[in-house]
């Protein structure tokens, strides 16, 4: 049998004790803490700034048609002039078509021109609506064919078939402007007056009349009596005859209010020809106010037949309408609420919900200018 000597036994025992002691110390030692890891922070993203108003890119080829209610009156010619100015500024290589029907064939003629624009491959059309919702099918067909369809001056009442309406002024404001001018002319004692509009289905003028009626319900206008709405059908002879017929029907009428610029000169001429106003040294028996073009009314304002009236710049109107349509047709803007864009020399505009209709979008130009003896001669030079 093999025996360890005493020295070796002692060494073996010491070594064993040392191992046991090491194990006991390790077991009693405090647990090692896990390394601390700093939480990862999400990267900071700077807030997105609004892009700002959209600017047009000049030089794009867009085939465009400007369609007034009808041809042959100065206000629409001025609109055309403003659109031509914008076309030149935007360097559109395609010529601007300026097409319109006759007053007698207004609705059917407009529908025919819209339909022809589709077949001719026009990219965009700008329409002053002369037919209310009668233009909806033609406007929808144009949209379905990929055309940009913008209305100006007079919108589609239902908003169908229309991308954006370029409004000359706020239609609700128009009612107050008309009422204020009537009150200023007739005085606190008030009296009877009548409105001569273009036609029963002219959307913009129907909206103005509705706004006027709302304003007249207020106490300060209580003595202004709106006795009739007549229609001159945008024809000089009819406007002339309607003016005299209203005076025959209401012998104590004080004021005739044409709200169509094309009819205003005929109303003034009828009153002057029959001696109701314009006689030097005599107080006028019947006068007029409304919406008219300064260059056509200078003599009537100076002789007292049209002491005060209002309007806006049709040159600017055409310019803004062209800019809006070009931006839509080139895809720079989509025609959505809140979009802002720059319209050259006229500044920044915003697409908004049209507050005067249940449906439809609006770009509002504004403002009104009021004309009288103090400023009409200068305004007529423009």
pLDDT in tens, 216-227: 999 999 999 999
Distances (CA, A) of 239 to 3, 108, 296, 308: 144, 22, 15, 19
Residue with tokens 């990267």: 43
Average pLDDT (48-59) is: 82
- Whole-number pLDDT of residue 49: 43
8 Å CB contact between 139 and 67: no
Q: For residues 315, 319, 321 and 325, what is the CA-based torsion angle, rounded to 10 degrees? A: 160
Question: Has residue 189 been placed in a domain?
Answer: yes
pLDDT beyond 60 at 38: no
Closest by Cα among 266, 275, 257 to 296: 266
Q: Which residues of 335-366 are buried (b: 16+ CB within 10 A; e: fewer)?
A: beeebebbbeeeeebebeebebbeebbbbbbe
Which pLDDT band, with edges at 50, 70 and 90, does 39 fall under?
A: very low
Which pLDDT band, with edges at 50, 70 and 90, does 382 fall under?
A: confident
CA 94/CA 66 separation, integer angstroms: 13
Kind and range of the H or E run holding 45: none
Q: Are residues 123 and 250 in the same domain?
A: no
Could you say which of 294, 311, 328 is where a domain stops? 311
Q: Are residues 179 and 305 in the same domain?
A: yes
DSSP SS3 for 269: helix
pLDDT beyond 90 at 33: no
8 Å CB contact between 337 and 352: yes
Question: Has residue 13 been placed in a domain?
Answer: no
pLDDT beyond 90 at 43: no
Residue pLDDT, tens place only, 89-99: 999 999 999 99
- Whole-number pLDDT of residue 222: 96
Question: Has residue 117 been placed in a domain?
Answer: yes
CATH number of the domain bearing residue 107: 3.40.50.2300
Mean pLDDT is lowest, of 49-53, 126-130, 161-165, 339-343, for 49-53
Q: Are residues 322 and 302 in the same domain?
A: no
Which pLDDT band, with edges at 50, 70 and 90, does 25 fall under?
A: very low
Q: For residues 322, 327, 331 and 334, what is the CA-based torsion angle, rounded to 10 degrees? A: -100
Residue pLDDT, tens place only, 294-342: 999 999 999 999 999 999 999 999 999 999 999 999 999 999 999 999 9
Q: Are residues 102 and 140 in the same domain?
A: yes
**Residue 369: CA atoms inside 13 Å, Cβ hemisphere, count?**
17
Question: Has residue 21 been placed in a domain?
Answer: no
Q: Are residues 182 and 290 in the same domain?
A: yes
Beta-bridge partner residues of 258: 196
- Whole-number pLDDT of residue 139: 98
pLDDT beyond 80 at 375: yes
User: At a CB cut-off of 8 Å and minimum separation 6, what does 73 contact?
Assistant: 234, 261, 262
Q: Are residues 279 and 175 in the same domain?
A: yes
CA 117/CA 123 separation, integer angstroms: 8
Q: Are residues 348 and 285 in the same domain?
A: no
Mean pLDDT is lowest, of 16-25, 210-219, 314-323, 339-348, for 16-25
Could you say which of 288, 311, 334 is where a domain stops? 311
Question: Has residue 148 been placed in a domain?
Answer: yes
Q: Are residues 208 and 296 in the same domain?
A: yes
pLDDT beyond 80 at 14: no
DSSP SS3 for 35: coil
Parallel/antiparallel/unpaired status of strands 352-353 and 361-364 = antiparallel
Question: Has residue 4 been placed in a domain?
Answer: no
Parallel/antiparallel/unpaired status of strands 97-98 and 64-67 = parallel
| Domain of 235, in residue numbers | 171-311
Distances (CA, A) of 150 to 16, 125, 173: 101, 6, 22
CA 57/CA 15 separation, integer angstroms: 92
Could you say which of 267, 288, 311 is where a domain stops? 311
Question: Has residue 41 been placed in a domain?
Answer: no
CA 352/CA 362 separation, integer angstroms: 5
Residue pLDDT, tens place only, 58-68: 999 999 999 99
Structurally, the chain folds into a number of domains equal to 2
Q: Are residues 269 and 332 in the same domain?
A: no
pLDDT beyond 80 at 6: no
pLDDT beyond 60 at 29: no
- Whole-number pLDDT of residue 5: 43
DSSP SS3 for 90: coil
Q: For residues 234, 238, 243 and 246, what is the CA-based torsion angle, rounded to 10 degrees? A: -110
**Residue 297: CA atoms inside 13 Å, Cβ hemisphere, count?**
35
Q: Are residues 246 and 271 in the same domain?
A: yes
Kind and range of the H or E run holding 252: none
Question: Has residue 151 been placed in a domain?
Answer: yes
Q: Are residues 86 and 156 in the same domain?
A: yes
Radius of gyration of the chain (CA): 38
- Whole-number pLDDT of residue 113: 98
**What are the backbone dihedrals phi and psi of residue 341, each rounded to the nearest 5 degrees, phi first?**
-150, 160
Q: Are residues 178 and 267 in the same domain?
A: yes
- Whole-number pLDDT of residue 15: 38
Q: What is the DSSP letter of 66?
A: E
Q: How many CB atoms lie within 10 A of CB 10?
A: 11
Kind and range of the H or E run holding 13: helix 6-28
DSSP SS3 for 362: strand
pLDDT beyond 70 at 47: no
Average model confidence (pLDDT) for the chain? 89
8 Å CB contact between 343 and 365: no
């Amino acid at each position: 049998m093999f025996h360890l000597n005493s020295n070796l036994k002692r060494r073996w025992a010491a070594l064993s004790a040392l191992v046991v002691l090491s194990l006991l110390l390790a077991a009693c030692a405090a647990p090692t803490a896990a390394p601390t890891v700093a939480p990862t922070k999400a990267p900071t993203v700077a807030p997105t700034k609004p892009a700002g108003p959209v600017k047009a890119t000049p030089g794009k080829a867009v085939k465009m048609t400007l369609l007034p209610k009808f041809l042959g009156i100065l206000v629409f010619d001025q609109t055309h002039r403003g659109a031509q100015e914008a076309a030149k500024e935007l360097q559109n290589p395609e010529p601007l078509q300026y097409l319109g029907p006759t007053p007698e064939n207004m609705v059917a003629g407009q529908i025919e021109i819209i339909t022809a624009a589709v077949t001719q491959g026009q990219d965009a059309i700008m329409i002053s609506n002369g037919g209310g919702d009668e233009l909806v099918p033609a406007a929808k067909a144009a949209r379905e064919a990929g055309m940009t369809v913008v209305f100006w001056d007079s919108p589609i009442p239902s908003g169908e078939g229309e991308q954006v309406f370029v409004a000359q002024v706020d239609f609700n404001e128009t009612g107050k402007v008309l009422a204020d001018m009537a009150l200023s002319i007739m005085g606190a004692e008030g009296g009877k007056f009548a409105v001569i509009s273009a036609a029963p289905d002219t959307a913009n003028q129907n909206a103005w009349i509705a706004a006027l009626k709302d304003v007249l319900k207020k106490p300060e206008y209580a003595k202004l009596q709106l006795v009739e709405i007549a229609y001159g059908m945008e024809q000089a002879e009819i406007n002339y005859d309607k003016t005299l017929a209203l005076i025959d029907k209401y012998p104590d009428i004080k004021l005739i209010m044409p709200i169509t610029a094309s009819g205003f000169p005929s109303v003034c001429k009828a009153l002057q020809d029959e001696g109701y106003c314009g006689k030097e040294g005599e107080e006028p028996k019947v006068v007029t106010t409304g919406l008219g073009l300064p260059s056509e009314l200078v003599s009537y304002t100076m002789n007292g037949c049209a002491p005060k009236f209002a309007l806006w710049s049709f040159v600017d109107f055409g310019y803004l309408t062209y800019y809006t349509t070009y931006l839509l047709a080139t895809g720079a803007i989509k025609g959505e609420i809140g979009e802002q864009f720059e319209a050259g020399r006229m500044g920044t505009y915003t697409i908004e919900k049209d507050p005067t209709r249940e449906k439809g979008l609006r770009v509002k130009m504004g403002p009104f200018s009021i004309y009288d003896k103090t400023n009409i001669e200068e305004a007529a030079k423009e």
